[in-house]
Amino acid sequence: MLPFSKFVCGLTLLAIGVDCQIISVPLIREKSPRHLMLEYDTDMDQLMALKKPKPKPRTNDSIALFKYIDSEFYGEISIGHPAQKFYVTFDTAWSNTWIPSKKCSFFNVPCQLHHKYNSKKSTTYIQNGTVFNISLGNDQLLGYLSTDIFHVAHLSLNQTFAEIVNVPYLYLLSKADGVVGFAYSSFSVDGVVPVFYNILKNRLVAKPIFSFYINRDITSSRGGNLFLGGSDPKHYNGSFTYVPVTRKSYWQFHMDRVDLVVSVHKAVSFCKKGCEVIMDTGTSIISGPRKDIEKINELIMADTTIFGRYKVPCNLVHKLPEINFVISGKNFTMKGRDYVQQMTHFGITVCLSSFVAYDGSYGYQWSLGAGFISSYYTEFDMGKNRIGFAVANE
């Protein structure tokens, strides 16, 4: 007898002609907005000065800022009929999906610099009109809900999303037009059904699992893959280590501790009594409590800050200490080359620590972004409410 999932998959295949095997969505690596700011010799304060009235002094309370300026992995989707193409971040720390609207103001510069959804050009558009409003630091992500056909890889489904008429200036240099959220539905604004829930509801994949592979070759524009419906063994070695989700909003779990290996017999530990962590595919950074992050950066010889990040001597990256993230009693080790990002400006290479301070106002203490996932293929199992980690292939 066929397993139930394959039986359902077969029925779906016969009914709607969709292959229910694992769906692969290619990810594109682009220069992050932080990298572009380095090239343009500007910073976030200069960009925000374009917006009137002048914003209040920025503090470290906006994790969205860090997410935005350190995003570098995007994928392609299309919406409506005929299809309108967009580049999006597939983000496990968001539940909602939003896209800039053709109806945004001419004076909203970030919107004008991106692809915009035009409902009038889509024959499959369904009006909703519910107001959508999220505060991002000193700015608002403002729009309204609409429904249309989403095309992700070769999957198609009716999806409600936010048409944004005010795109925050944080996204001025972002390569992505918008965001497709992959967090739990309890985190969704206005009760909108997230994309992956909708995929499961329509039985378009065999298993309630999605996973991320991030290509570690920073010279390649091929960023990796998002897999819908399972995991691809060719991109990881060995078996997964699973940890249960502790809070079904973010993909949040409990981490035992973090050890920075000073010598063969000595390590400096952080998160000593355990701490709550989220997986955040919308950024490349690793964030943690300010005191811990400052100490880690001190121990890896990072000192001068550049655009809010610590700089590391590039010639010493190969000598930097290993850092172990202890999860379910197992060490997940990152070497210097894994937690240092290289950026080149006018032929000069700058090396930045991936460790960024976060003040913990969202119910978790640490977050692990694409820098961690590039070392460890990560599986998100919504059926069993768990996260799996396996050593990623080069």
234 has pLDDT over 90: yes
345 has pLDDT over 50: yes
215 has pLDDT over 90: no
| pTM to 2 decimal places | 0.86
Write down the architecture of domain 68-204 according to CATH: Beta Barrel (2.40)
So what's the pLDDT on residue 48?
42
Separation CA 325–CA 269 (nearest Å): 10
What phi, psi does 300 have (nearest 5°)? -100, 15
331 has pLDDT over 60: yes
Of 12-26, 266-280, 333-347, 359-373, least confident by mean pLDDT is: 12-26
- The active-site residue out of 139, 177, 280, 292 is 280
Scanning the structure block, which residue is given the tokens 């539940």? 95
So what's the pLDDT on residue 196?
97
CATH number of 232-392: 2.40.70.10
Annotated catalytic residue 91: yes
Domain boundaries, the chain: 68-204, 232-392
Rounded mean pLDDT of 227-240? 96
- Computed over every residue of the chain, the mean pLDDT equals 84
Q: Could you tell me which residue, 96 or 284, shows the higher pLDDT?
A: 96
Per-residue tokens: 241 = 């280590």
Distances (CA, A) of 120 to 100, 117, 348: 14, 9, 47
So what's the pLDDT on residue 28?
83
So what's the pLDDT on residue 265?
86
So what's the pLDDT on residue 41?
46
So what's the pLDDT on residue 71?
56
Rounded mean pLDDT of 224-238? 94
Distances (CA, A) of 40 to 19, 120, 231, 345, 349: 45, 36, 39, 9, 15
Separation CA 343–CA 3 (nearest Å): 48
So what's the pLDDT on residue 201?
96
82 has pLDDT over 70: yes
Q: Could you tell me which residue, 16 or 347, shows the higher pLDDT?
A: 347
Annotated catalytic residue 280: yes
Domains 68-204 and 232-392 alike in fold: yes
CB-count burial class (<10 Å; 0-12, 13-18, 19+) for 328: middle
Q: Supply the DSSP string of 65-114, one letter for each residue.
A: HHHHHT--EEEEEEETTTTEEEEEEEETT---EEEEBTTS-TT-HHHHTS
So what's the pLDDT on residue 262?
92
Amino acid letter for position 222: R
